[in-house]
C-alpha cells in the first residue's frame, strides 16, 4: 500500500471575525493539519497532510460520505478576510516514487477562491 507524504503551509491572513472563523474551522475536519486564529485575528494553516476539508460529523469524525467540501469551506472563509488580505495555501507531496507528484495551491482574496495544480501545460515563449 502506498502512503501519501504531503506538506501543507499557508501565509497568514487577518480575518474580520476571529470567533466566527474559529467556529467555521471547528465545524470542519482538516485531517492531521493544524489551524490557528491568534489574538490579532490572523489565520494560518500548516501540517503534514494534503489540504482536503470534510465536514465534521456529530461524533467529531470526518464525514467521508458527504465528500470533500474544500471549495465550499474556502468560499465561506473568503467572506471573513479583511479587505486587501490574501490567504495562500500550498500543498506538495508524493506517493513513494510514483507519478504524479501532488502539488496544489489555493489563493483566497477579494471574495474569490483561486486554484492551481500541475494539470496545465503551456508552451514557453521564445
- 72 touches 40 (CB < 8 A): no
42-60 per-position pLDDT tens digit: 999 999 999 999 999 989 8
50-108 per-position pLDDT tens digit: 999 999 998 988 999 999 999 999 999 999 999 999 999 999 999 887 777 889 999 99
Whether 1 shows a pLDDT value over 60: the answer reads no
Q: What is the pTM of this model?
A: 0.89
2-28 per-position pLDDT tens digit: 687 899 999 999 999 999 999 999 999
Give the largest CA-CA distance in the chain.
Answer: 57
pLDDT of 124 reads 67
pLDDT of 4 reads 79
Among the listed residues 82, 73, 74, 69, the one whose alpha carbon sits nearest the alpha carbon of residue 107: 74
Among the listed residues 37, 33, 40, the one whose alpha carbon sits nearest the alpha carbon of residue 54: 33
CA angle 27, 41, 58 (to 5 degrees): 10
Q: How far is the C-alpha of 69 from the C-alpha of 29, rounded, in Å?
A: 10
Amino acid at each position: 500500500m502506498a502512503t501519501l507524504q504531503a506538506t501543507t503551509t499557508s501565509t497568514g491572513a487577518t480575518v474580520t471575525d476571529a470567533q466566527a472563523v474559529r467556529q467555521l474551522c471547528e465545524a470542519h475536519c482538516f485531517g492531521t493539519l493544524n489551524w490557528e486564529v491568534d489574538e490579532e485575528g490572523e489565520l494560518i494553516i500548516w501540517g503534514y497532510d494534503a489540504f482536503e476539508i470534510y465536514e465534521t460529523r456529530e461524533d467529531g469524525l470526518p464525514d467521508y460520505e458527504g465528500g470533500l467540501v474544500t471549495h465550499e469551506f474556502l468560499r465561506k472563509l473568503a467572506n471573513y478576510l479583511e479587505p486587501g488580505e490574501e490567504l495562500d495555501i500550498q500543498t506538495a507531496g508524493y506517493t513513494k516514487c510514483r507519478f504524479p507528484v501532488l502539488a496544489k495551491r489555493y489563493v483566497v482574496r477579494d471574495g474569490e477562491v483561486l486554484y492551481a495544480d500541475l494539470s496545465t501545460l503551456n508552451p514557453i515563449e521564445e
